[in-house]
Structure 1
């Protein structure tokens, strides 16, 4: 572990070990705590839930266990960078399994026929052959798409790894030079028409926009890197679920000397003028040199910081005017017996565009897209022998979206959607007698997400439209304040576990620099970015030369 440097910043007295409060033990807060504690800072994490993880925590229903939120894990090398930087290895804490197929995609037929089935695989030849069977020529287009997005990710990586505080930062990163490749002004769906002839192939490469809680008809095309990342780096399952990752990070934090106080919600951030200098926990003032927000970004801005202190862009009216991601209706099901489904299965509605419009306008569709995670296929730790822990997610409107001015009444809608979803587990997914096999169950609606301090129940945070990205998201060092920081899906680069870990790298570097201490990420040990097996040597240079 590194000790604080004697070259402390002007705001930190000499020989004083800087103290940091982190609000929220989600993946962003925990990874930031690891890096700050390893740098020698005195770190305390306050978590409102009785367990760590935030939306990446563990849920239990009787003998069954579930991930609360994320179930896909990609780009494991990013998390490994953080563990390596603090002198540890992810593999010391968690076993990872690479999935093949990565997932099954069932694309509903608007004419009433059987869904088109695509088993997404990292074997690019097999994947191309599947697409060619649907539409000759789309296999070759797939190879071209992968090659182009390999180049695109090389161009985007400096942006994803850097603070973007304004246009000057974008200019320094040669973003304008890269714009013809990134094409942020067009939607990912429009972008895919440049490659694929079949609607099924296009959908297989753009449904991933739902990872950001967005429609592919609105999501900027630079996010075509999402399917590329799946095919290049794989989709992984941590044994125990993605919650095993946050549990591992919490263990690492403790080993590094950080303290974690669970069941300890922060009710207010304290200020001396515009300088954050403490938090209120259980009606007690606790003083710290720095405060890092890992709570839901806009909820925290509205509820933890007095409006009179906030810059105009963070006042209530401005926050309410922002665009938010969709929400989700969740069923966590303990089922009697095994389920004959892959680890991940995604069904897209027969009326896909209408389903997306309904989500945006506050309606529940007659035919909803939905996703099923069947981790018991891979992992025996989540259910009793012979049984299955099933995770079912239905994308829905957030609580801000309204039909005829009134939001969905989930007290009425939830039982109906539950029964319909269980029925479609049988008819669409082929899970026999699903409803009668339920032994344990947890239901979570958008209202429930909102009650967990997620603004508007928007489970994927602020929307990722072009006017709410880069420097237009809340900053890692919050504008207008001193010693107040942010990490998580509400800041740059955005939502999703890998980029949240990248955000923690950015925030921790900036905070360490202000404290005058060396970030553990500056050590050579941390520079281990694992190239894809197919990544060419010198791809970054090739990409820049080709723009």
Structure 2
């Protein structure tokens, strides 16, 4: 069987490499950085270490399945802990809701905040979320959408439609819940797919199911970057070779499809299959052959970006949850601003405080990561001027929220230009948004129709953005490779 080259040692590329190597194939992973991870990266500032990628890990069974494909037990290599609470949601009126494990415990949280009648409605809504998830998962998430027939699931489509999956997300949730605070708790996840709750389809309520029912997890050691580190170790143990600090510059083709990958060292790696698991628009700008063009990328609609401050604290914050979401007062106006390419007037903030990651800070110290959604680089903004303004506003907001004066704390700042420098098109780490015309089969294909042997994985392909979808994209790419005779 011909050798396989995987371009990119992010989660999608590693998921594909593990399965391919475990199947006995000759696999080489090419990674431009010196460490694995891709978007799931890491950075150091003095004695502080930060996760620079996703901070929310859901559906750990999807990750465990990757390890199991190589005969490895995830728990022994990458032990996880379930967060409690999954989130702490703080509202502008001073109230808060802890999203906690267990149906009965969560219903009591809702009862305490919203009353008995809303708690009963929440119980029914929680059941509906589970039903929607069960209908979507095998047919539209964990399924290869490379060909149109992957979308042709009449019974599943009818069932999802009947449950309200093709209504707008906000309308779908409001048809079950009446308390605005509880509605926000189950619609803010629309930003994960790059859309406002009034734009996103109801099918994305499954993200709320993953978060609030399935739960949020965190590695016991090493932070989120421990995930790609463990995956890389499993890939190498299975027989894959990972070459760090080497960049793929061209996928070369012959009469029968892909034949090699040219590196920036001048080497040519022979390949019968290539799995490209990096930023697709940039790959199409030079790495990929012209015949690999995909009409779905002619006019990509990108997700909003974010301003992220990674702060080193000289103290701990007693009682602080791992994830805290602070809702602003102007709910609708924040999404309108993003859509129009303007800074949000009153942004919702996601604050991550990984206190259990003991190695991230010196004894008695801690790290704090603050994320504010922003427009991407397609907005007409002068980021040299805007970023300092947003930073100063964030520090004032944090002080008002009780975090103290953090303006002089050691910090790393990632704004849209910084994301662009790290290889993200349009300066957003969230790829294309998930409007209907960029979902499932309408998302960039997982294989190049006119270039045999060329496959894709990562958040630009189906199922899309997020740790579980990206891992699934790697699995689907590996299954396509293994299902051919090349």
The aligned residue for residue 67 of structure 1 is 51
How many angstroms does 1:172 deviate by?
4.5
Residues 25 and 173 from structure 1, CA distance in 2 versus in 1: closer, same or farther, beyond 3 angstroms? Answer: farther
Alignment pair present for 1:246 and 2:224: no
Q: Tell me how far apart the structure 2 counterparts of residues 41 and 169 of structure 1 sit (CA, whole Å).
A: 26
How many angstroms does 1:433 deviate by?
2.5
Alignment pair present for 1:260 and 2:242: yes
The aligned residue for residue 351 of structure 1 is 330
Q: Tell me how far apart the structure 2 counterparts of residues 182 and 454 of structure 1 sit (CA, whole Å).
A: 36
Alignment pair present for 1:289 and 2:272: yes
Match for residue 384 of structure 2 among 411, 429, 444: 411
Provide runs of 4+ in structure 1 moved above 4 Å.
Answer: none
Match for residue 123 of structure 2 among 143, 150, 173: 143
CA offsets per residue over residues 394-447 of structure 1, 9 Å max, x none? Answer: 1111112x2xxxx2111111112112212212212x1123224x1x32111111
Q: Tell me how far apart the structure 1 counterparts of residues 373 and 156 of structure 2 sit (CA, whole Å).
A: 33
Alignment pair present for 1:393 and 2:371: yes
The aligned residue for residue 155 of structure 1 is 135
Q: Tell me how far apart the structure 1 counterparts of residues 148 and 235 of structure 2 sit (CA, whole Å).
A: 35
Residues 274 and 416 from structure 1, CA distance in 2 versus in 1: closer, same or farther, beyond 3 angstroms? Answer: farther
How many angstroms does 1:42 deviate by?
0.8
Gaps of 5+ in 2: none
Residues 380 and 193 from structure 1, CA distance in 2 versus in 1: closer, same or farther, beyond 3 angstroms? Answer: same
How many angstroms does 1:184 deviate by?
4.1
Match for residue 218 of structure 1 among 187, 199, 204: 199
Q: Is the 8 Å Cα contact of residues 124 and 231 (structure 1) preserved in structure 2?
A: no
Match for residue 275 of structure 1 among 251, 257, 264: 257
The aligned residue for residue 13 of structure 1 is none
Q: Tell me how far apart the structure 1 counterparts of residues 413 and 163 of structure 2 sit (CA, whole Å).
A: 39
Q: Is the 8 Å Cα contact of residues 132 and 165 (structure 2) preserved in structure 1?
A: no
Residues 115 and 139 from structure 1, CA distance in 2 versus in 1: closer, same or farther, beyond 3 angstroms? Answer: same
1:456-475 to structure 2, matched below 5 A, reads 456-475=426-445
1:201-240 to structure 2, matched below 5 A, reads 201-239=182-220, 240=222
CA offsets per residue over residues 469-499 of structure 1, 9 Å max, x none? Answer: 1111122222322100011111111111111
Q: Tell me how far apart the structure 1 counterparts of residues 294 and 352 of structure 2 sit (CA, whole Å).
A: 42
Q: TM-score, normalised by structure 1?
A: 0.84
Alignment pair present for 1:427 and 2:397: no
SS of 1:56's equivalent in the other structure is coil
Q: Tell me how far apart the structure 2 counterparts of residues 179 and 102 of structure 1 sit (CA, whole Å).
A: 27
Q: Tell me how far apart the structure 2 counterparts of residues 254 and 512 of structure 1 sit (CA, whole Å).
A: 19
CA offsets per residue over residues 490-519 of structure 1, 9 Å max, x none? Answer: 111111111111222211111111147xxx
How many angstroms does 1:261 deviate by?
1.2
Gaps of 5+ in 1: 1-16, 109-113, 517-547
Q: Tell me how far apart the structure 1 counterparts of residues 103 and 431 of structure 2 sit (CA, whole Å).
A: 32
How many angstroms does 1:379 deviate by?
2.2
The aligned residue for residue 174 of structure 1 is 155
Q: Is the 8 Å Cα contact of residues 370 and 393 (structure 1) preserved in structure 2?
A: yes
The aligned residue for residue 29 of structure 2 is 45
Alignment pair present for 1:32 and 2:16: yes
Alignment pair present for 1:447 and 2:428: no
RMSD: 1.8
